[in-house]
Structure 1
Amino acid sequence: MNPAAHPAVALPALPSPRAAGCPFDPPPALQALQAERPVTRVRIWDGSEPWLITRHDHLRSLLGDPRVSSDPRQPGFPHRSAAMRERDRTNPTFINMDDPEHARLRRMVTAPFAVRKMQALRPAVQRIVDDLIDRMLAGPAPVDLVEAFALPVPSLVICALLGVPYDRHDFFQRRTQVIVRRTSTAEDVREAMDDLTDYLDELLTVKLASPGDDLLSELAVRRVATGEMTRREAARMGVLLLAAGHETTANMIALGTLALLSRPDQLALLREAEEPEVVAGAVEELLRYLNITHSGRRRVALEDIEIGGRTIRAGDGIVFANDIANRDPDAFPDPDRLDLTRDARRHVAFGFGVHQCLGQPLARIELQSVYSTLYRRVPTLRLATGIDQLEFKHDGFVYGVYSLPVTW
């Protein structure tokens, strides 16, 4: 749609703000578009006008369509910011590639994240969760749950899985925060990416000389040493796994806890749950309800595509609003209600199609361990401040809270 030819129709701006006092809900503008214009043009930061997809069925259809590309080098690709455009072009990873290259590289790390292998990690994850709760309970209250628990849990797990020393957690956590902050400059992101890639590159050199039982060693021995990947390519893959492996889950732990503390009836259901399938179902509903990856998945059309009565032309950018798609009433009745008994398994918090999140089996194990343990072991857990005093990550590509003061 050319706005000059349709002067009465103003293009919505993306991102749009959340409503005051509604930190768990997607922006009202997205809800209105889903009801009135589910396939529509929007205007983003650089003045370009990609299509916004807000319905659950449309999103799943297009994310599974080979005519839709993840390659940020394609003309018309709707980058999240100038900094992310720089990162996507200079530090390509398999998630920003199309098949067959995407499939070739993804296969190199698919096996370590398989459901069976992740299930084998459950006891180790549970020990980490219990140890951190022990430490938290032994110290003074109140405490920042983000710093004391939400961030260490996935950081310790991904470090053990990759073979990254946890004593460098400040180093990689701070640089990851720069990368996922919408306000970071291109120079900030480039420097953070270079620091992380250089570090993983050096670590791969160590693994080549003395491999261990970890994923980086496997990449070094089976991929780099054989010439299948360069060390720099392996380092970039390591950066992706390290950053994604802690940042998203940490935010989900903290924001999920806040949502449950705000809804004591749902918290009680989870605290009293004894069956693993009840906990697993609650995790899926929290993923659907909160959807912390709130900046939309970005793609570009390779061919003309008809959907929802509109024609997306070849070269048009596409933004998939997975947060509002998970609140689609046609897919999830009464979608704005958190209901831990709901069957929410068709949510798109992890995406859909060949590019869906590689680490979702690990994230589920971590969240199930956290949500089944924290509130049972600390039954009097409560906020130590008003919810209106919390600072939410409106400026991030991953949503959450910067800190969560709690007591018991």
Structure 2
Amino acid sequence: MSKDKSARIPTPQAVRGTQDMLGDFADRFAYVVETFERVRRLYGFKRIEVPVIEPTAVFARSLGETTDVVSKEMYSFEDRGGESITLRPEFTAGIARAYITNGWQQFAPLKVATHGPLFRYERPQKGRYRQFHQLDAEVLGSDSPLADAELLVFADQLLKELGISEGVTLTLNTLGDAASRDAWRAALVGHFEAHRGDLSEDSLARLDKNPLRILDSKDPKDRPVADSAPDIDAYLTGEAQDFFGAVTAGLDVAGVAWERNARLVRGLDYYRHTAFEFVTDRLGAQGTVIGGGRYDGLIETLGGPPTAAVGWAGGIERLAMLIDEPSSPDRADFIVVVEDDQLEMVGFEALSVLRRAGVKADLIASGSIKKRFDRAVKRSPDGIVTLGFNDNGTVSPRIRSASELYQIEEILKAIDWRAWDRS
């Protein structure tokens, strides 16, 4: 009977911008997450979980109705009760909402971190998917510039421990305090208004509500006007200069290299002071691997009390793409090789004993004897435990190890080998 082709299960790739993972890239992905979890514990960041689905208003209010994310990219729909809900396009808004609704102000300053899937409807390209995954770290309830510095040092150490810091540059800017930003914004609007005829349609649309975003426009038509716009330095208050100076001083004493990028901006009004990106040219056009900034006005925008906050996010897929040689899960510390099929069960016992002792071990008990050893050697273990019958019918493990870190003989004393002797 012929199969109905229309009944075939569609692959995730049929939904553009999604992917399955197996083997090497899945290992890279997992390595990024494991390293992030280890480093965030070093820095005292608590693990947090927030829902994948939130009321649409959480993102519309936090990201701004006129932003591309809200107007073009969010996966929003009505549930059966008629409420508009959205698959989260980013973490910060959901974390801010949780901070308000759960009364977490009592724990401030609160350092939290999470990771998981996010969703945006946008053109798929290298390192960018419609379902993608991010790492996220936030400090809520601290107005200290050292909170900004700590987050940046955290991100820098993460990149180093992943082995991908070479060729990645921390670029840094200040958006100033509210007074600085307002004065700079007015100067930018005046500059752009004087050159309206030279701006692209997208920048003209941003001019009224989001003029700072014109500074990072990728449209060649906008570049001459954006490049000649005034920098923020002329409008920084003394307090804003001191704040930025304290952030950079913190980075300097922690040994974190950085570069100033006076054109690095955040368009929404609740952003203040520090804005930053870790960038690389190893991923083509998508050069940012970690980005973030201070958003002192966000929680108030969502209905909470005025709350200082700063955070960053990093794309797991992008970070995974930068890893050259992730540790292979196929590699075991020790391989148990069974020479005789009658000893397969004691091989399994030995495997269990080693694993309970914290030794990463695997068992090979099929195929010809030569192939069993060939497969074991090919996996480059630190040692091999061979199980077979001696000439007198007794069983004892033969251990070959190139490492002195393992007390395998002591571990395997837990096994009663005589129970497996030939009677």
TM interval, short-chain normalised: under 0.3
By percentage of residues, which structure has more helix?
1
Greater Rg over alpha carbons, structure: 2
TM-score, normalised via structure 1 length? 0.25
TM-score, normalised via structure 2 length? 0.24
Q: Which fold has the larger relative contact order, with Cα–Cα distance below 8 Å and residues 6 or more apart in sequence?
A: 1
By percentage of residues, which structure has more strand?
2
